[in-house]
Structure 1
């Protein structure tokens, strides 16, 4: 027989519904109390593995319904629900509560709540709690106060009261904090004026309220409870919390080489947060069987059902559906390896930068509990990694037939503990390498005042601030992940609650307190705004007005004219032209429009710059070869080659100058062998030679070497061979011309 689940708390919620708490036009004490009560029920509903049983008692109801009622006692007190698990039905019922027309004794309501939580065998509840919502406006009898306090203490029930704002009456101007308070409920004299406490509706509190607050303060103090205002309670109750549960131990062996093993235990330290699943859930009957029913339907308006025999598994690859048949499942890879954590090798910590950390969880690796030899061996291993500044690259198999996961073991040593931190790493095919130009040339042009302004902005956006409460100048972190609630979970629970209560209403937008989770702290916003004023002055901007219309002459401009305009335009004008509407998707660079194809490929999604430059290199050499054989107009080819060199040199200077510099030697050989002096003169005039170190820090060519390279040396005459047949690309160039 499985062990009995640990019992939850027993909670009795007492809601005052008498006319006094509903007297108002706008937000009343009753509406705020009901809001808090519903928030408590919702938190219990969404708490994971919550077994708390909740009872609801109405104080001041028109009818009397409780087991202790007599003709002259415990009147106008109704038990709306006895202690049981929270359900949507009781939440809907609380939503429909409108209030009563009579008043009840709040001390009697406490006795009824104590009776509902009575557990003589101490096996039903792990703890007991009463939450009272009242403003003490109703008449009460305090002759049984001592007995009530004794009953709360004997049963171990804590009392919390939400609603009234009770001011501190214990001090007066003389500083005597030990003397007795006023018996008439009025505040002591302050600066010669007697002050009267205000009620929730702005009116002065009555003598009954002040007397009730005095009795409640005594009861709460002796019953280990607390009194909270709505301002304190509501912000704590409107958020849903995901219960943190301890990680299960992952016991395995750390294999270092073929013959050395250490018994270890892994525990999840950090894990990706997800919303709870509702695939398997029950309401109040834990013994009810959960039966899953699966049906298949076509994606049409009628949702036509399909028999299960006519359905096979499949996966989507982009927009293509790929079927997955039995033969494929038999070919699936299975590791067939028991759980393990084996060391593949070691490398310096600097070789595993932060951007390589992957996966959705982080493990803490410690020695197996109770194995002293394993603890000593693991400690030596941890200290060796720390001294050498190394990390271990590992292969992890979570369980038998699980896929292997690559990871790194980092040593973590503090004065309190020492352990290994395991972080998943990506495989080679999962890594995407992108090359970006250096910002050094841009920052070198900035003045000292501009650099200082940027430094001030970085400092203002720092999330670590000095803790003014501590005098030691320690710093605390704003938006610390462990202290920030998950806004996805908050909105998910709010949306699900709204749909359960208001079945046919549309899902509302995220509420304000969820939006506020995503807002940056006020200190950061204020610091940013102060720096922004200086940045606007130092870095003025102007609005670029793009052309929205074109005249009739431009609509019919030729391809050659459009390409010349685009080459001469450096302001990044993206105006749509008529040729843009009819141009086919560019997949490679052609001789017809090489420059346009080059830029189109660079603007594509995840461009491969090396491959694009390789295509551009081949096209340039092919155009020069066509020119040397005289198969095409020299003026057209000259302009096209110069345009290609200009675009190629400009882009490669920013990313990888070696790609352009590698083109120049074969281009020079082609110019010499074809006697194309005119092209080389244009290369000199346009400064299209090798990219030097003065132009790009990534280049290795000096200015003197670049100048010497531009000098042509005549090659010895060779026998003229028969011209080779031109490729289809030249024909396609002639067709476009």
Structure 2
């Protein structure tokens, strides 16, 4: 409801009617986004030039200027259109209680005796006279009908605002009405919101209110109630999801063609999707359908099938039923752990957290429940349980513990062996020691150390790939040895630090500086001031909103009302929680400076291509074949790290590491990388002995891909080609492997979705063959491959693959694609004959 002069403006020159419409529009927008489908609303204006309500029809002298603009019904865009474009304008006086009685009557007629959450929201400037006569009866009508009342007062005094708001030059009528409305709301359960506070709340971000729904209703069982009923316990509980990720809704398909359908009176462009199941028939499979024709199947005719190697194994409905695990709903305790034991595996907790509460308020349920909770708190224990949500569903293992704050039980799933992801990382042991210190444990972690027989610091390795034998000194360097800055060596000259250790100060100084930085960035006391005058936590989850979700609905709401206008930029407040806070940054400035002084840091400049490189880092060329580099003949691993990628692009750290790993992988097989005549970044391989130019950590890297397989043929093939490992023979072997993999993938494809990988492999093979001048090899393979796909008796799937090749324009390499003068004066007959002379397709 709204009451106020339509043409009255506020201090900023904005019409009060427009402000009131904005507040109601924000309420309607929230209903359109988050409201339930059964939510209904009406729009009532009093102080209107027109009168439109049922009570006024019965008594023409009463309820004047009360205009029911929209009857109770579902919220939709029309509601917002009325607020923006169709509100009446005028300065007619209106009675607050007349409008309130009309609103109560509308709700009572619509809801009858059904159970609804009923609410009246009034927006007023308080400038219209209110007749208080009989207000007690109307207040009792609100209470008896179960209707809540919210009043938003435009420019009402707000002492709780920050800063407090007090309207200047307030009229006596408004001052009287403010006091009366506050008294009325307090007496009859209403709420009065000054517009300053209401504006902040309505324009702020709104989170979806989810009605609690139990996802589990069953028993917690301790012991065996069948064989040992006297020593077992069963507690009936309900489980509610404590947290659940809010999924951003997916967009519906919308027809751009103007042929809307009529759906309950609303014209819509929503399209429906129909799914069909079909496949090409084989020769002799159905006498009524020619081979190659498509046959459509009903969903009821289909079976579930699982890929088993390269075949699909179908399972009948009986098989699917027999596959189900016979399990009974419930949560059975299988053992317990101490809380400190759970902390060692708490990072394994997965999925959503379940809050377990008593299923009823009966003492036979509440007492055992709280007895178990108190016992877990007192013993500091956690129960490991077997959880089955519904009968015959897959059982899960989980941890059950008592929460001291919420006074309830929580359960969270634990992973199975198949769910755990194991990753190997380089050991951080060196960072727990003094700078330059070494010990025997560094051998196992792969950290570089020195040997009295090897003063140069070069590890010695022998044996086949993956087997390394390193002789190291067991003499530790004293912890008191002072660091020498960025050199990475202690003053004894005996300990080579790990490559990731860039400390310039002693461990104690580094630890203290890092502790100070973490303390300076503490958020637990960085929030506002609570009612007790104490600092609160900053960025609690309840105050950090999902930016994608909020931005989506702000954009949708704007586009609904303004189809042609450009979208408004996102609210800056939306991203503030994800940006550094100025107060935290300033408080941590000195601590961060001390941390930076503890390490050998280099400023990273951004180059023109967007990559970052350390300031002062110089690109070094790879030494030519036979030249003496830092580590002897040929190119060392360090040279490869600073080389380009063969296409003129300087490698960053990640790319250099990847390229170096290929070279090192070959070196551990008795090969050594050496520059070829193709220029910087290209390498051939020559026989080598020992591990010249190889650092210790290089020997632990993943080996190079040695062959092309069906798993990832394009990546594996191009990795071998780029590395030039194996020389000319290795390249020809890779081409043969690629051709065999393409045949295998194409010939054993089960449906057209399996064509993606062989088609990509064909394109890669053609591209590489053209670059490496393997015209004859590729064209001969493609001709033979075409014959196998199109010959008489070939399966329909092979013929379909040939059609896919034609659609992708995969054809032999033509002579027109070869640069003029490439072959000189004469062309080899074999090469000439390999070029297509007629229409390939």
Q: One fold, TM greater than 0.5?
A: yes
Distance change in 2, residues 1:402/1:566 (3 Å)? farther
**1:15 pairs with 2:6:** no
**What is the aligned counterpart of 1:355 among 342, 347, 350?**
347
Structure 1, 527-536 or 423-432: larger mean CA deviation: 527-536
**What is the aligned counterpart of 1:245 among 204, 211, 229?**
211
Q: Is the 8 A contact 1:495 1:507 kept in 2?
A: yes
Q: Is the 8 A contact 1:162 1:229 kept in 2?
A: yes
**What is the aligned counterpart of 1:364 among 350, 356, 363?**
356
1:238-317 to structure 2, matched below 5 A, reads 238=203, 239-248=205-214, 249-252=216-219, 254=221, 256=223, 259=227, 262-264=233-235, 265-275=237-247, 294-296=273-275, 309=297
Q: Is the 8 A contact 2:55 2:102 kept in 1?
A: yes
**1:459 pairs with 2:519:** yes
The residue number in structure 2 matching 1:134 is 124
TM-score by length of 2: 0.54
Q: Is the 8 A contact 2:7 2:90 kept in 1?
A: no
Distance change in 2, residues 1:53/1:205 (3 Å)? same
**What is the aligned counterpart of 1:515 among 575, 596, 599?**
575
Runs of 5+ consecutive residues of structure 2 not aligned to the other structure: 160-164, 253-261, 265-269, 278-293, 434-500, 610-616, 673-684, 704-724, 734-841
Separation of aligned partners in 2, 1:385 and 1:430: 29
Post-superposition Cα deviations, 1:444-476, rounded to whole Å, max 9, x if no partner, equal: 9347665444222201222212886577x9874
Post-superposition Cα deviations, 1:252-272, rounded to whole Å, max 9, x if no partner, equal: 453657956643324125232
**1:334 pairs with 2:402:** no
**What is the aligned counterpart of 2:91 among 99, 102, 125?**
102
Separation of aligned partners in 2, 1:37 and 1:457: 47
1:136-215 to structure 2, matched below 5 A, reads 136-138=126-128, 140=129, 142=130, 144-156=131-143, 158-167=148-157, 198=167, 204-215=169-180
Task: Tell me the C-alpha RMSD between the 2 structures.
Answer: 5.6
Give the superposition deviation at 1:237: 2.3
Q: Is the 8 A contact 1:75 1:104 kept in 2?
A: no
Separation of aligned partners in 2, 1:334 and 1:430: 24
Separation of aligned partners in 2, 1:77 and 1:465: 52
Post-superposition Cα deviations, 1:187-242, rounded to whole Å, max 9, x if no partner, equal: xxxxxxxxx9746xxxx334544454454445445444343222201222233332
Separation of aligned partners in 1, 2:74 and 2:571: 27
Q: Is the 8 A contact 1:358 1:426 kept in 2?
A: no
Runs of 5+ consecutive residues of structure 1 not aligned to the other structure: 1-13, 170-195, 286-290, 299-305, 587-594, 603-611, 624-633, 660-727
Distance change in 2, residues 1:372/1:600 (3 Å)? same
Separation of aligned partners in 1, 2:386 and 2:227: 16
Give the superposition deviation at 1:37: 0.6
Separation of aligned partners in 2, 1:210 and 1:385: 56
Give the superposition deviation at 1:734: 13
Distance change in 2, residues 1:404/1:729 (3 Å)? farther
Q: Which has the higher contact order (CA 8 A, sep 6+)?
A: 1
The residue number in structure 2 matching 1:689 is none
Q: Is the 8 A contact 2:158 2:166 kept in 1?
A: no
Post-superposition Cα deviations, 1:543-580, rounded to whole Å, max 9, x if no partner, equal: 3568889999969956989997974749x966634268
The residue number in structure 2 matching 1:648 is 696
**What is the aligned counterpart of 1:480 among 523, 537, 540?**
540
The residue number in structure 2 matching 1:86 is 75
Post-superposition Cα deviations, 1:588-618, rounded to whole Å, max 9, x if no partner, equal: xxxxxxx98783369xxxxxxxxx9xx6795
Q: Is the 8 A contact 2:156 2:178 kept in 1?
A: yes
The residue number in structure 1 matching 2:385 is 394
Distance change in 2, residues 1:71/1:435 (3 Å)? same
Distance change in 2, residues 1:50/1:263 (3 Å)? farther
Distance change in 2, residues 1:578/1:518 (3 Å)? closer
**What is the aligned counterpart of 2:603 among 524, 543, 555?**
543
**What is the aligned counterpart of 2:190 among 225, 229, 233?**
225
Distance change in 2, residues 1:284/1:353 (3 Å)? farther
Post-superposition Cα deviations, 1:598-656, rounded to whole Å, max 9, x if no partner, equal: 83369xxxxxxxxx9xx679525x88xxxxxxxxxx99725x62223xx234675xx99
TM-score by length of 1: 0.60
Separation of aligned partners in 2, 1:295 and 1:474: 60
Separation of aligned partners in 2, 1:382 and 1:276: 39
Give the superposition deviation at 1:358: 0.7
Give the superposition deviation at 1:114: 3.9
Q: Is the 8 A contact 1:453 1:531 kept in 2?
A: yes
The residue number in structure 2 matching 1:637 is 688
The residue number in structure 1 matching 2:441 is none
**1:234 pairs with 2:199:** yes
Separation of aligned partners in 2, 1:314 and 1:229: 62
Q: Is the 8 A contact 1:271 1:360 kept in 2?
A: yes
Q: Is the 8 A contact 1:313 1:324 kept in 2?
A: no
User: What secondary structure sits across from 1:434 in the alignment?
Assistant: coil
Separation of aligned partners in 1, 2:47 and 2:531: 49
